[in-house]
Homo-oligomer: A and B are copies of this chain.
């Protein structure tokens, strides 16, 4: 039987609070669930990263979360009713500029990490130090998209992973150069992880084992995966 890829949920992460050693908590939970090996990809949801980094703000009950969303936005692309589609300082385009009201205490909102690539690096460094293995780390978040209903998880930060794999110059099965040249594997890995995490189960970590080793290496979501405004037809 072909080995393929395994996507393993990691339960057992305690409730995360500002200042907690998230990397240590992730390490302990991974150790209990599956252990870690060279080449594993560990996906951690933005929510617990934001909590550990203290990216929580109180919502003024008089005015709601709207001013928080506007403060997190560098550009507002669309508004409809309560929904704002905005670009963040990182260059992400998403609903409410990534400000999140689910899975936080009532009266609070979670902001995106200031630098999600750095958040991923911190977790990766701790995992490498603790286990002596070379793993990749993805910080994932849940974004909507135009034209298609429903949300999917995407990568907002990576460490030890090239988020976009460039196939330019690769031949297809007919020897013709491939038309599709760049595959956003970090987003596909985040999406695969979401399939075992769910939104209401409280599982915030998953491990992917069996990933193509060619994808491991240096990378950054902000530098490699965010489309620059001048390349973008929809901004």
Contact = CB atoms under 8 A, between A and B. Distances in A.
Given A4-B9, A172-B102, A234 B151 contact: no
Interface string A181-205: 0111101110110111011101000
Interface residues of A, number: 80
B151 A184 contact: yes
Interface stretch (A20-28, A113-121, A122-130, A141-149): A141-149
A136 to B, nearest CB: 13
Contacts of A92: 147
A2 B191 contact: no
A5 interface: yes
B149 A173 contact: no
Contacts of A234: 78, 146-147, 234
A150 interface: yes
A196 B5 contact: yes
A233 B85 contact: yes
Interface in A22-37: 33-34
A15 B78 CA distance: 46
A184 B100 contact: no
A224 B199 CA distance: 20
23 contacts: A1-B33, A5-B192, A101-B176, A102-B176, A103-B172, A103-B173, A105-B174, A146-B235, A148-B187, A148-B225, A149-B164, A150-B163, A150-B187, A151-B184, A152-B188, A172-B199, A178-B200, A188-B192, A188-B195, A191-B191, A191-B192, A192-B195, A196-B210
